[in-house]
């Protein structure tokens, strides 16, 4: 029986455990990446671990999220990250270089390598045939310190691609189709592996769009084979020597199979407010639009933007539409400038903004009240654009560009226009934005710590009796954007948990923070897929700061569940999901003999208000039990009990 590509790479990196679904394994981590909005915490934690030398082959600290610099805070965070990067031998990518995932694909990703990133879209690297996983900051700090990462072995879903995409249909439509089929929780506990003859028709950047948005499926990661298209991409990026051919065995066995005929796909859109709320552009109809935003780590490649330029060339943006474009990297922007495509965009009326995350994370370009905004991004959660009542639709670059001209959501297939082929180009290696850590080390580099950087909260060891009052009764698919909102107002405070704590769950329940402070020790009740979305561990650290002891939910998203455990907060799962209805804000809950129950794997929660007992499951691995008992990962490394 043959192996999947994912398991081949995991097997070649296996340090401990058996590679079988559900088992806990430890693998060697070759590379790590961080970005600035999670990075300050990562590097505070790395400093707290007191390591002399990082153990990875390559670690890069990117600055791409907090680039507005509306006050001193962002710039201080960047200076802090730069100083710690120097101390530990981490490459530092200056603001202006571009978006971490796009840059990592261009410059450092290698087929067959493992990558852990403190950003949920790290699986972008799967487009190059890597096992690239998004994780909480503490896990990434640990991966740097030890060169390892522990995870529960996921199952593998095979997505078998046949045919090839028609003009006006693109990689974005492939992943939107997969999201429509599998939903935002369909990938939890799974790796999505793409195979079949249709793979050959997709370039590396197409593949990266698909693996990038595998994060929205809740998948551990997504992966494509490494083939002649991979070699072509690496050659274009000036590093053919990094190529290795890789594929699953012909007789590989998968846990699930989804077949996708690329030739049958049409332009799709994810409607408000979830990436899996997908329908065809044709069915949704010609809705009037106010804003179009093109860019993000999903759709900001050279080819994507050249297609956009070709569609815009010689046209004028509709009078009621604001079109903003943010290229993925400095290399791409400079190439667009050289070949005239940038002028085509500007002459059509596009607003060119910095090559950074920008509007994708609400850092500027919030649309007007009640606006319809078409975005080539990956998330359309309510309020993420910075405008609570905006309706955000996720579309391909082609759909975005043609719609910006017509002023209504437009299916390019029926607009009667030809799309030119985009010839490939070679990029020369450009490291003008990279600071190498050579010559610097821990001893001779000071940590540069601005006044906004506060220590991160630490938990204490689990007590035998845990008392907590219900502070929130939340619904299904709560995102980490719901738990800890992020936009231009709050992103500058990613290194200041006390400040952020005032805004926890702000969009769902503005009284949450005040209630927690009043209750002292609290619990959160959640529905399905609690904590989906971003990897931000602030969605665990802030509740920890506010006194949350456990979250009791129907199910959890992978990264957030790990972040809770890393912070010593228990993620408990209802044995009987219908019990969820019995809970209400203010009820007093108690877990007796907590330590014993955690070790046994079943935890009974007593509800003192209705006198009932509720059985909950933990599904904790041995390492996770230790972390919960010690009050989090850092305590467990230091051996505290």
CA distance 315 to 410: 15
Applying CB under 6 A, does 380 fall inside the site for ligand SF4? no
Per-residue x/- marks for ligand SF4, 269-298, CB under 6 A? ---------------------------xx-
Residues 176-205 that bind ligand MIC (CB under 6 A): none
SS3 assignment, position 583 = coil
Residue with tokens 């410059």: 107
13 binds, among ligand MIC, ligand SF4, none (CB under 5 to 8 A by kind): none
Per-residue x/- marks for ligand MIC, 350-379, CB under 6 A? -----------x------------------
DSSP letters along 142-187, please?
HHHHHSEEEEEPPEEEEEEEES-PPTT--HHHHHHHHHHHH-TTTT
SS3 assignment, position 637 = helix
Supply 249's token pair.
Answer: 């065995």
Q: Considering the candidates 30, 36, 119, 579, report the single residue annotated as catalytic.
A: 119
Number of H helices and E strands in the chain, helices first, is 21, 27
Residue from 81, 271, 361, 504 in contact with ligand SF4 (CB under 6 A)? 361
Of 378, 359, 384, 383, which Cα lies nearest the Cα of 292?
Answer: 359
Is 36 tagged catalytic?
no
Applying CB under 6 A, does 150 fall inside the site for ligand MIC? no
Residues 599-628 that bind ligand MIC (CB under 6 A): none
Q: How many CB atoms lie within 10 A of CB 283?
A: 10
Residues 117-136 that bind ligand SF4 (CB under 6 A): 119, 121
Cα dihedral sign for 109, 111, 117, 120? Answer: positive
Of 430, 534, 451, 501, which Cα lies nearest the Cα of 65?
Answer: 534
CA distance 127 to 117: 15
Pick the piece of the chain touching ligand SF4 (CB under 6 A) from 353-361, 428-436, 464-472, 539-547: 353-361
Given its phi and psi angles, is residue 340 left (phi above 0), alpha (psi -120 to 50 degrees) or beta?
Answer: left
99 binds, among ligand SF4, ligand MIC, none (CB under 5 to 8 A by kind): ligand SF4
Applying CB under 6 A, does 199 fall inside the site for ligand SF4? no
CA distance 195 to 161: 6
Pick the piece of the chain touching ligand MIC (CB under 6 A) from 118-126, 298-306, 395-403, 542-550: 118-126
Nearer to ligand SF4, 28 or 101 (CB): 101
Residues 212-251 that bind ligand SF4 (CB under 6 A): none
Applying CB under 6 A, does 378 fall inside the site for ligand SF4? yes
150 binds, among ligand MIC, ligand SF4, none (CB under 5 to 8 A by kind): none
86 binds, among ligand SF4, ligand MIC, none (CB under 5 to 8 A by kind): none
Phi and psi angles of residue 15, each rounded to the nearest 5 degrees, phi first? -110, -30
Applying CB under 6 A, does 121 fall inside the site for ligand MIC? yes
Applying CB under 6 A, does 360 fall inside the site for ligand SF4? yes
Going across the sheet that includes 31-34, the strands are: 131-134, 114-117, 31-34, 58-62, 91-93, 434-435
Is 482 tagged catalytic?
no
Nearer to ligand SF4, 86 or 326 (CB): 326
Burial code of 67-90, b = ≥16 C-beta within 10 A, e = fewer? beeeeebbbbbbbbbbbbbbbbbb
296 binds, among ligand MIC, ligand SF4, none (CB under 5 to 8 A by kind): ligand SF4
Q: By rule CB under 6 A, what count of residues binds ligand SF4?
A: 11
Spell out the alpha helix ranges (H) of 148-243. Answer: 171-182, 204-212, 228-236
Pick the piece of the chain touching ligand MIC (CB under 6 A) from 119-127, 277-285, 366-374, 426-434: 119-127
Q: Considering the candidates 536, 538, 558, 561, report the single residue annotated as catalytic.
A: 536
**Pseudo-torsion of CA 478, 484, 488, 491, nearest 10°?**
-140
Is 534 tagged catalytic?
yes
Q: Considering the candidates 64, 76, 139, 206, report the single residue annotated as catalytic.
A: 64
Q: Considering the candidates 375, 379, 558, 561, report the single residue annotated as catalytic.
A: 379
Q: Measure the N-to-C terminal CA separation of the chain; round to a whole number of Å.
A: 44
* DSSP 8-state symbol, 594: H
Spell out the alpha helix ranges (H) of 241-329. Answer: 281-284, 302-312
Q: Could you give the residue numbers annotated as active site?
A: 64-65, 119, 379, 534, 536
Where do contacts with ligand MIC occur on this chain (CB under 6 A)?
A: 37-38, 65, 119-121, 361, 486, 533-536
Where do contacts with ligand SF4 occur on this chain (CB under 6 A)?
A: 65, 99, 119, 121, 296-297, 357, 360-361, 377-378
């Amino acid at each position: 029986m043959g192996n999947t590509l994912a398991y081949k790479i995991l097997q070649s990196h296996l340090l401990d455990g058996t590679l079988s679904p559900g088992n806990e394994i430890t693998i060697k981590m070759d590379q790590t990446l961080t970005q600035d909005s999670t990075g300050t915490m990562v590097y505070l934690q790395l400093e707290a671990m007191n390591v002399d030398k990082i153990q990875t082959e390559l670690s890069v600290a990117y600055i791409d999220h907090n680039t507005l610099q509306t006050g001193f805070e962002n710039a201080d965070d960047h200076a802090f990250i730069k100083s710690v990067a120097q101390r530990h031998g981490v490459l530092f990518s200056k603001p202006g270089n571009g978006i971490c995932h796009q840059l990592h694909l261009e410059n450092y990703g290698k087929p067959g390598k493992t990558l852990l990133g403190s950003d949920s879209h790290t699986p972008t690297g799967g487009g190059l045939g890597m096992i690239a996983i998004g994780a909480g900051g503490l896990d990434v700090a640990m991966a740097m310190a030890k060169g390892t990462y522990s995870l529960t072995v996921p199952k593998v879903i095979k997505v078998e691609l046949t045919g090839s995409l028609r003009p006006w249909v693109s990689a974005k439509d492939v992943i939107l189709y997969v999201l429509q089929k599998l939903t935002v929780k369909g990938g939890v506990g799974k790796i999505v592996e793409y195979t079949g003859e249709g793979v050959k028709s997709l370039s590396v950047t197409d593949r990266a769009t698909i693996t990038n948005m595998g994060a929205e499926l809740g998948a551990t990661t997504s992966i494509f084979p490494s083939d002649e298209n991979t070699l072509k991409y690496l050659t274009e990026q000036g590093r053919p020597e990094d190529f290795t051919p890789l594929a699953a065995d012909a007789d590989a066995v998968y846990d699930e199979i989804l077949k996708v005929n690329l030739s049958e796909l049409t332009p799709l859109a994810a409607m408000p407010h979830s990436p899996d709320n997908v329908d065809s552009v044709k069915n949704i109809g010609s809705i009037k639009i106010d804003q179009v935003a093109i860019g993000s780590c999903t759709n900001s490649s050279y080819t994507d933007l050249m297609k956009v330029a070709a569609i815009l060339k010689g046209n004028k943006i509709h009078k009621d539409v604001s079109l903003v474009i943010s290229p993925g990297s400095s290399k791409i922007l400079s190439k667009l400038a050289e070949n005239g495509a940038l002028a085509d965009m500007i002459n059509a009326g596009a607003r060119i903004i910095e090559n950074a995350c920008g509007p994708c994370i609400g850092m500027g370009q919030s649309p007007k009240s009640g606006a319809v905004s078409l975005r080539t991004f990956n998330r359309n959660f309510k309020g993420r654009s910075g405008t609570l009542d905006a309706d955000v639709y996720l579309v391909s670059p082609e759909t975005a560009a043609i719609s910006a001209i017509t002023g209504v959501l437009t299916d390019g297939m029926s607009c009667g226009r030809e799309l030119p082929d985009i010839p490939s180009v070679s990029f020369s290696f450009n490291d003008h934005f990279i600071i190498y850590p050579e010559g610097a080390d821990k001893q001779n580099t000071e940590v540069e710590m601005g006044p906004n950087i506060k220590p991160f909260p630490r938990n204490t060891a689990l007590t035998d009796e845990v008392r907590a009052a219900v502070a929130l009764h939340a619904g299904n698919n709560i995102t980490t954007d719901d738990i800890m909102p992020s936009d231009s107002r709050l992103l500058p405070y990613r290194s200041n948990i006390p400040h952020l704590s005032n805004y926890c769950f702000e969009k769902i329940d503005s009284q949450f923070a005040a209630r927690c402070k009043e209750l002292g020790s609290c619990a959160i009740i959640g529905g399905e897929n609690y904590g989906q979305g971003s990897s931000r561990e602030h969605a665990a650290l802030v509740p920890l700061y506010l006194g949350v002891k456990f979250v009791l939910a129907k199910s959890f998203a992978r990264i957030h569940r790990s972040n809770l455990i890393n912070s010593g907060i228990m993620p408990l799962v209802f044995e009987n999901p219908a019990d969820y209805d019995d809970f209400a804000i203010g009820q007093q809950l108690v877990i007796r003999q907590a330590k014993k129950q955690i070790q046994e794997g079943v935890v009974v929660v007593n509800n003192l208000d209705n006198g009932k007992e509720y059985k909950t499951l933990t599904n904790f691995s041995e390492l996770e039990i230790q972390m919960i008992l010690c009050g989090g990962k850092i305590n467990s490394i230091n051996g505290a009990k």
